[in-house]
Amino acid sequence: MYVAVKGGEAAINNAHRLMADRRRGDRNVPGLTIEQIAGQLALAVDRVMAEGSLYDPDLAAMAVRQARGDLIEAIFLLRAYRTTLPRFNNSTPIDTATMRIERRVSATYKDIPGGQLLGPTFDYTHRLIDPAMTEDGPVEPGHRRPVESDACAPRVTDILNGEGLIEPDVFSNAEPSDLTREPTEYPVDRDLRLQALARGDEGFLLALGYSTQRGYGRTHPFVGEIRIGMVDVEIDMPELGFAVTVGSVRVTECQMVSQFKGSAGVKPRFTRGYGLVFGHSERKAMAMSLVDRALRADEFDEQRLAPAQDEEFVLEHCDNVQSTGFVEHLKLPHYVDFQAELDLLRQLHEDTTTATIDDDQAPLSEAAQ
């Protein structure tokens, strides 16, 4: 009896071994390759990179495979590796105006300089499960645009800004905050909020963004522009006196144009919500931009009433590695504390039988920690 409630090293090893077996599945079926995952489950890999906040498609694909397709588990693997990496430099801000665009749409204009470009999107597919998906049939290559040397696709927000109709971008060379290197102290600045949102759980941000649309912190949003493509990452080299490109990353950027604001000295202007996510992830970038705008309530003297406007609430709960850890730790043994609760409950029962108190309220049981 006593042994049954204790775990041991052998049990853990056996559990790991069984898990490895289940991960591999039927040995008669070829194992997934990293190339297959990175190439054919690219959106899963993108999500893992975005929320793992580490841009490395191969490593993310390895994590997806190791995690048996559990993306939060894969994100966790990537994070636990990322945390050990030295920080040797900050890149200069990436310039999304020079993005090599794969997709770019604006909901606020019928047409825009540089054009609307649908790119690879599910938007207009009919969600009918395709019988062809049972096998690996031939797939036609996509049409490609001829490579334009100086493709000009100015950001929609820059177009609006030219007329003074939207709040301008705030240019800053200040070193950005990093919540993975500094403890968070509230209230925080927007740079740190954006970092938290960029790493935040897609589902959580989606629900929060949705809640703003349904009246919990409404911001009257329009998609000014969504663009997806590769941008160069540059690092300033003080020895050289100029910036050097160290690589390029695929990002999704969403500029949400929201409710205008003015004040005594300032003409009314549209405000912005901003979303920027590694990889191809429109849903996340859009949700992020909605929540970013909602969190700026104080800047615009809006009352903070809705969950999406509550900085501490959003930032403390948007991280899925933290959330899943604390929720799932409830399955760890808690029998010592439970024993203490049992003890109290029995004592209270004794009290009521001896003292005939007609109070049948159950005692407040505190959540397991």
**Residues binding another protein (CB under 8 A):** 1-3, 5-12, 56, 58-59, 62, 76, 79-84, 86, 180-187, 312, 316, 321-322, 324-330, 332-337, 339-344, 347-348, 351, 355, 357, 359, 361, 363-364, 366, 368-369
**Quick one: 89 or 339, whose CB is closer to another protein?**
339
Long-range contacts at 139-147 (CB < 8 A, ≥ 24 apart): none
Beginning with the edge strand found earlier in the chain, give each strand of the sheet holding 100-105 in spatial order: 100-105, 222-237, 242-261, 269-278
CB of 52 to another protein, least distance (A): 10
Q: Of 114, 62, 52, which is closest to residue 83 (Cα–Cα)?
A: 52
CB of 250 to another protein, least distance (A): 17
- What CA–CA distance (Å, rounded) separates 287 from 197? 9
**Quick one: 2 or 242, whose CB is closer to another protein?**
2
Instruction: Say which residues have a Cβ less than 8 Å from residue 171's Cβ, sequence separation at least 6.
Output: none
CB of 94 to another protein, least distance (A): 22
**Quick one: 303 or 369, whose CB is closer to another protein?**
369
Which amino acid appears at position 142 of this protein?
A: G
**Quick one: 19 or 132, whose CB is closer to another protein?**
19
- What CA–CA distance (Å, rounded) separates 32 from 362? 53
Strands (E), the chain: 100-105, 222-237, 242-261, 269-278
Four-point Cα dihedral 175, 177, 182, 188, nearest 10: 140
